[in-house]
């Protein structure tokens, strides 16, 4: 399109652009993708990991102390190369917090002496299990909390899209106000010029006083100033509009009709708010996180043990061909423990802090939900009031426009004064602005209610 091209947009197109093309809509999409991959990252912690590790080779040439047969030590040069290749499998066990591991490994040592010697060590199979007892199980709690975070992010994505629509509608009506005001001030300037030229003729033949002529001149100059001001405000509003919707072309907005009538029952809306809103999921997540912190504090204050058992087969040889013959078994078992004996009430303090924090979160989240419900009721009242007042505002606008036209013609014919014409003009402008405000309250109010409830009251379905 050319630089001077102009796009004509209606309110439905604005709603689609706000969701698909706006800056906020695109940011919401990227945030949703980040949350998706964060959840995939968490899920990977519950799945087995297969790793291939290696050192090929590790060269070393050093001088080290060597103990002799008589107990004395002497320094000898030592040159060797070690190589390692290991295939390992690790699986976390979320319910217990344990870890299962299995591996297969082969090692090689080359000692550079005269002659050079080579030896191998293999662990064809090595399996084991490590189980902490009394320790904090972070993976178990992550499996409880991360699904809430992911569901929360999906709800947040829907809320971001609805908020983008609210912002888009606010910019739409802001630009529409400026567009209508520019059109109005232009007409007023034409009318003021007409009246000013007429006043010049009437003054020249003595039909009006000089004071009335000066009032006409002042009205004309004020109309010219108002028109210039309205153009400047329109250009600023257009810039904001273009920036949000990533548009380069100028736009012409269609004045919207009243939206289809929708019934919104307050109790139904409150129930949808409690079921669908991000805040409801946030509360559940915060309470779970508080339980997690309390569980961690209790685990830190008590007895902790760690049991590790393993079984494997091994063989060393100077020949790679004999490395897997007559394998020898090897077993290991280890128990470690830690008991806090003197911690100066550190553990008790951590438990007390976590307990009090949980109580604070419970009261805080309850208050947050009450405030959200109060905001929803307020938005419903504003929306319902605007619907009732729209018909009155429309009738007032029509009557004020008709009254102004009649008064304007009467003034041209000399049947009324300039004061009556000024009053009719002011009433017409106020009525037009009030009608647009009622339209704005209905459209934006409905989408604010949708934002809070994540529910389409027209189609009677949740937005997910």
Report the pLDDT averaged over residues 174-182.
93
* Stated pTM of the model: 0.83
Strands 117-133 and 328-338: unpaired
Q: Residue 316: pLDDT above 80? A: yes
Report the pLDDT averaged over residues 287-313.
92
Question: Token pair for residue 436?
Answer: 């647009």
Query: Mean pLDDT in the chain?
Result: 90
24-28, 264-268, 282-286, 315-319: least confidently modelled range: 315-319
- Domain-by-domain residue ranges, the chain? 6-45+140-280+362-462, 50-93+98-134+303-339
What fold is seen in the domain 6-45+140-280+362-462?
Answer: Outer membrane efflux proteins (OEP) (1.20.1600)
User: Using 50, 70 and 90 to split pLDDT, how confident is the model at 1?
Assistant: very low
The confidence score (pLDDT) of residue 68 equals 82
CB 46 within 8 A of CB 139: yes
The confidence score (pLDDT) of residue 30 equals 94
In tens, the pLDDT along 341-379 reads: 888 888 899 999 999 999 999 999 889 999 999 999 999
Q: Residue 417: pLDDT above 50? A: yes
User: Using 50, 70 and 90 to split pLDDT, how confident is the model at 56?
Assistant: confident
Report the pLDDT averaged over residues 61-65.
84
Please, which residues bridge with residue 63 across strands?
77
9-18, 143-152, 313-322, 390-399: least confidently modelled range: 313-322
Report the pLDDT averaged over residues 243-250.
90
The confidence score (pLDDT) of residue 74 equals 85
User: In degrees rounded to 5, what are phi and psi of residue 411?
Assistant: -70, -40
Q: Residue 4: pLDDT above 80? A: no
CB 162 within 8 A of CB 451: yes
Q: Residue 218: pLDDT above 60? A: yes
Q: Residue 3: pLDDT above 50? A: no
The proportion of the chain whose per-residue pLDDT surpasses 90, expressed as a percent, equals 62
Q: Residue 2: pLDDT above 70? A: no
Question: Token pair for residue 36?
Answer: 């998706």
The confidence score (pLDDT) of residue 5 equals 62
Q: 76: closest CA among 67, 88, 86?
A: 67
CB 26 within 8 A of CB 51: no
CB 47 within 8 A of CB 82: no
């Amino acid at each position: 399109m050319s630089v001077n091209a102009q796009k004509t947009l209606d309110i439905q197109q604005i709603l689609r652009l706000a969701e698909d093309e706006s800056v906020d809509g695109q940011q919401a999409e990227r945030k949703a993708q980040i949350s998706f991959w964060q959840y995939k990252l968490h899920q990977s912690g519950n799945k087995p990991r297969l790793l291939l590790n290696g050192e090929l080779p590790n060269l070393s040439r050093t001088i080290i102390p060597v103990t002799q047969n008589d107990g004395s030590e002497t320094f000898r040069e030592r040159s060797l190369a070690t190589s390692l290749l290991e295939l390992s499998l690790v699986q976390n066990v979320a319910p217990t917090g344990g870890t299962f591991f299995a591996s297969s490994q082969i090692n090689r040592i080359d000692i550079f002496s005269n002659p050079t010697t080579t030896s191998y060590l293999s662990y064809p199979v090595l399996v084991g299990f490590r189980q902490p007892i009394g320790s904090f199980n972070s993976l178990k709690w992550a499996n409880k909390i991360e699904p809430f975070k992911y569901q929360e992010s999906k709800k947040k994505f829907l809320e971001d899209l609805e908020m983008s629509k609210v912002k888009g509608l606010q910019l739409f009506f802001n630009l529409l106000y400026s567009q209508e005001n520019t059109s109005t001030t232009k007409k007023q300037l034409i009318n003021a010029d007409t009246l000013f030229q007429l006043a010049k003729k009437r003054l020249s033949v003595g039909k009006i006083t000089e004071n009335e002529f000066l009032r006409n001149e002042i009205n004309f100059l004020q109309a010219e100033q108002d028109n210039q001001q309205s153009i400047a405000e329109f250009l600023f509003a257009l810039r904001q509009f273009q920036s949000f919707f990533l548009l380069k072309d100028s736009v012409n907005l269609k004045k919207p009709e009243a939206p289809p009538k929708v019934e919104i029952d307050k109790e139904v809306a409150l129930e949808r708010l409690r079921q669908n809103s991000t805040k409801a999921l946030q509360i559940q997540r915060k309470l779970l996180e508080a339980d997690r912190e309390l569980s961690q504090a209790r685990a830190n204050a008590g007895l902790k043990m760690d049991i590790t058992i393993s079984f494997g087969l091994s063989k060393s040889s100077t020949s790679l061909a004999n490395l897997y013959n007559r394998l020898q078994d090897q077993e290991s078992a280890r128990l470690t423990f830690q008991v806090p004996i003197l911690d100066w009430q550190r553990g008790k303090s951590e438990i007390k802090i976590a307990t009090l924090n949980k109580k604070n979160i419970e009261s805080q989240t309850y208050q947050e939900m009450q405030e959200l419900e109060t905001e929803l009721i307020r938005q419903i009242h504003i929306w319902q009031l605007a619907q009732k007042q729209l018909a009155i505002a429309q009738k007032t606008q029509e009557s004020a426009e008709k009254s102004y036209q009649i008064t304007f013609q009467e003034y041209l014919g000399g049947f009324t004064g300039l004061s009556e014409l000024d009053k009719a003009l002011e009433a017409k402008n106020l009525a037009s602005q009030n009608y647009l405000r009622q339209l704005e309250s209905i459209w934006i109010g409905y989408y604010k209610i949708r934002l809070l409830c994540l529910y389409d009251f027209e189609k009677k379905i949740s937005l997910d």
